[in-house]
Amino acid sequence: MFKRNVQSIKDLVLRNLRSQGLETPLLQKRLIEAWPTVAGEAIARYTTDVSIYNQTLFVSLRVPALRADLSMQRQEFVKRLNDYVGAQIITDIRFK
C-alpha cells in the first residue's frame, strides 16, 4: 500500500507564498484592510489614510481630539489587529 503525504491546500499556498517572499506583504494588506473592522465604523469614518512602515501602522485622522484618545489605546489596537490577521505584523501604531 502506498503511503500518501496529504497536505491541505492552505498549507501548500502559504508555503509557496513564503518561499517567494510574499507572505508578509499579503498579511500587511489584510491588516490594513482590517482597520475599519477592528477600529469600528465611527473611527473609520474619520480615518483618511492607513499604511505600514517598519512594523508600525500609521493612521491619518481628520480630528485631533480623536488622535489623542486613540493614542492611549495603541497597545490594545496592536493586539487586536495582529490577532485579526493571525500573525505579529505590527509592533506599534502612530496616529497623525
Q: What is the pLDDT of residues 37-90, one digit of tens each?
A: 999 999 999 999 999 999 999 999 999 999 999 999 999 999 999 999 999 999
The pTM for the full model equals 0.82
**Of residues 11 and 34, which shows the higher confidence score?**
34
Tell me the backbone φ, ψ of residue 61, rounded to 5 degrees. -120, 150
Question: Could you tell me the three cell numbers for 53?
Answer: 512602515
Q: Are 58 and 52 in contact (CB under 8 A)?
A: yes
Instruction: Express each pLDDT in 13-36 by its tens digit.
Output: 888 878 887 888 999 999 999 999
Q: Are 57 and 82 in contact (CB under 8 A)?
A: no
Q: What is the pLDDT of residue 77?
A: 96
